[in-house]
Chains A and B, each alone.
Chain A
């Protein structure tokens, strides 16, 4: 029996894989409905969860459906009926959900989904990159990224509160790196079940299907007359998520001592050059920053935790004083103008009188390993740009055969 299956009654340190940590968080939240379809590297999240269901440790209705499209559709149906719902997927599973992602967000259903990041086919690959969740960035889902198993666990618990907040009511994706985090064992601190229950509370929707006293139709035809207003409301909800994400993080921080924000600025106060990264690469970059600092380089790291809503102004505040910034994209946007994170970060800096030289490193596609030496190479590029006052290659591919 793994530690997850044993259950946790007191907050303590346990060794769990990223997937086990997510499954444990789901168990502690005990959603009403979970529907899923297996895909590497998400598979064991759902498998662990199904064992909790089978062993009677949760009262969740668990449904093994015939595809991811059906999984998210079942969640939409259950959520519309007032249930707290969760699912999990990766790569092509997320791609197959694409149609329903918009339905969930457009109907303002607070579903929470773990996305174990994996490269999208084709060609087929099962290892980590962010092409899956980046492809879903404009679907109306809030996106939280997780550096490690601890953060994946913490993000999942916070996701429930963010999604269900009456000012928000939007679905949330919690992303973690496939294999690198999902399958690596890590020591992390987990909360007692009661504390999780108290933190997430009970979901009380305002309207739901099958409320005989107040019949409603969700998702009917919405043409030129009101579709636009509804989309505008969705955008406003996304904006209202900003303070909610902060409040929820603050409350979580008071309860656990673990502090989260939209991003973490590591050794940025006096930094001259910095990299911006999401998920597990932030851990590697932090190590490199320390190594460079010991050599006298004023290096920093900006770890982005929330990509949707995008913290444009706060990011620009944190970055404008740098001499040069490298944005790390684990997805090739194929736009020829740089990856998705780069494009948005650079745009965030546009209005600033003072702004750093910027460059984009596309890296780690299909699970290509990126170690400290490669990140150090990125810092070399930055220092060189500072020295000659210009960026020679704004977009480059790191660690690829030429």
Chain B
């Protein structure tokens, strides 16, 4: 798996990775790597911050400084990194449980502040690391070890949540469209402000098996059949979009970015004096 790109962006001595056969997390990692290459990221000025979970293990594979933190808190730690060193590029890797369950609070506040960082959520619809319990993104009535007859809670639309909370950039991609995922992540990396990419990924081991979705290849086929590009989605009516996942760049807005606004405030107060 040692390609020139991997040699440049990954700690190839840490490979092979820990993920199960058929897991889509490696595809997302690859997309992020290509995106970093596309924006010519200086890995000496890039920090990858992650929480806890299968997804969060991705941080350890990147050939740059990293902070592997606690479950749910990656964005809070990343906020500290960015405030201390606003010139650094901060990439946050998280899972759907990490980001939307235990860490949901930090998600909405990072988006609301619009602090510049790229947050990539590896959404496999379960808590993979703890063996597949349902998460806030598991589709309603899907099966999980703690919900053998289907769980009754409604699921979050993470992209919508990021948008309404104030994120500058919001996109969704699935591992089936790995190339377009890389492009969308690259755009997120270029965005001023809080940029969020939801990467839909397959967990054949827990989610797939329990919900009888077949092999990893079957799950990718499912993605192919159930994703609709945002441009096409705009032409469809809600009934046609029922059960579909809209992918592509969903939102972009140039809100004031937090660390810049902070620096401006400091400069202004210094100039005008306190009194």
Contact = CB atoms under 8 A, between A and B. Distances in A.
B72 A67 contact: yes
Contact of B70 (A38, A50, A64, A121): A121
Nearest to A40: B130
A92 interface: yes
Interface residues of A, number: 20
Interface in A17-43: 37-40, 43
Nearest to A36: B146
Contacts of A122: 70
A124 B52 contact: yes
Nearest to A37: B102
B149 to A, nearest CB: 6
A99 interface: no
26 contacts: A37-B101, A38-B127, A38-B133, A46-B146, A47-B131, A47-B133, A47-B146, A50-B146, A50-B147, A50-B148, A51-B148, A54-B147, A54-B149, A64-B133, A64-B134, A64-B147, A64-B151, A66-B102, A66-B104, A66-B136, A67-B72, A92-B52, A92-B71, A121-B70, A124-B52, A124-B68
B145 interface: yes
Nearest to B52: A124
Interface in A43-87: 43, 46-47, 50-51, 54, 62, 64, 66-67
Given A64-B133, A124-B68, 17 more contacts: A37-B101, A38-B131, A38-B146, A43-B131, A47-B131, A50-B146, A64-B134, A64-B147, A64-B151, A66-B104, A66-B136, A67-B72, A67-B101, A92-B52, A96-B102, A121-B70, A122-B70
Contacts of A96: 102
Nearest to B144: A64
Interface in B129-177: 129-131, 133-134, 136, 145-149, 151
A62 B146 CA distance: 9
B134 to A, nearest CB: 7
B130 A66 contact: no
Interface in B8-44: none
B57 to A, nearest CB: 10
Interface string B71-82: 110000000000
B130 A39 contact: yes
Interface string B165-200: 000000000000000000000000000000000000
B75 to A, nearest CB: 15
The 5 closest A-B CB pairs, nearest first, are: A38-B130, A67-B102, A66-B101, A50-B146, A54-B148
Contacts of B133: 38, 43, 47, 64
Contacts of B134: 64
Interface of B: 52, 68, 70-72, 101-102, 104, 127, 129-131, 133-134, 136, 145-149, 151
Contacts of B146: 38, 46-47, 50, 62, 64
A54 B130 CA distance: 19
Contacts of B131: 38, 43, 47
Contacts of B72: 67
Interface in A212-257: none
Contacts of A124: 52, 68
B68 to A, nearest CB: 7
Contacts of A67: 72, 101-102
Nearest to B69: A122
Interface in A235-284: none
Interface in A80-127: 92, 96, 121-124
Contacts of B52: 92, 124
Nearest to A39: B130
A43 B136 contact: no
Contacts of B151: 64
Contacts of A37: 101-102
Contacts of A92: 52, 70-71
A23 to B, nearest CB: 12
Contacts of A43: 130-131, 133
A123 B148 CA distance: 34
A275 B44 CA distance: 51
A46 B131 CA distance: 12
A92 B102 CA distance: 12
Contacts of B101: 37, 66-67
Contacts of B149: 54
Contacts of B148: 50-51, 54
Nearest to B127: A38
A66 B102 CA distance: 5
Interface centre among B68, B101, B136, B146 (most CB of A within 10 A): B146
A137 B71 CA distance: 23
Nearest to B101: A66
B145 A47 contact: yes
Nearest to B72: A67
A37 B102 CA distance: 9
A38 B146 CA distance: 10
Nearest to A49: B146
Contacts of A38: 127, 130-131, 133, 146
Interface string A151-167: 00000000000000000
Contact of B145 (A40, A50, A62, A121): A50
A32 B29 CA distance: 44
